[in-house]
Amino acid sequence: MKRILLLLVLITAVTTSFGQCSICTKTASQIGEEAGKGFNAGVLYLAAMPFAIIVYIAYNWRKNEQKTNS
């Protein structure tokens, strides 16, 4: 679980990665470099929450499965 959480944090912490579709990339390039970086960070921030929820559900599911198998 710690490995998955660490991987999730590392992926979302990289603000230099591009987390947007082609339309959003075009929009971000038109509004300027600083605003584009903020736009990228916002997209990555919004994408992190569904992944965190999925990890939470998977962790609880695995924990409950281990209890029933023991």
Which pLDDT tens digit goes with each residue over 15-25?
A: 455 556 777 77
Q: Domain limits at 16?
A: 2-69
Cβ contacts of 34 within 8 Å, gap of 6 or more: none
Q: At what angle do helices 2-13 and 33-69 cross, to 10 degrees?
A: 170
The beta strand positions in 4-70, using DSSP E, are none
Quote the tokens at residue 67: 């209890």
pLDDT tens by residue, 14-56: 645 555 677 777 777 788 888 877 887 787 788 888 889 999 9
Helices (H), ranges, 1-70: 2-13, 22-31, 33-69
pTM: 0.51
Total tally of structural domains belonging to the chain: 1
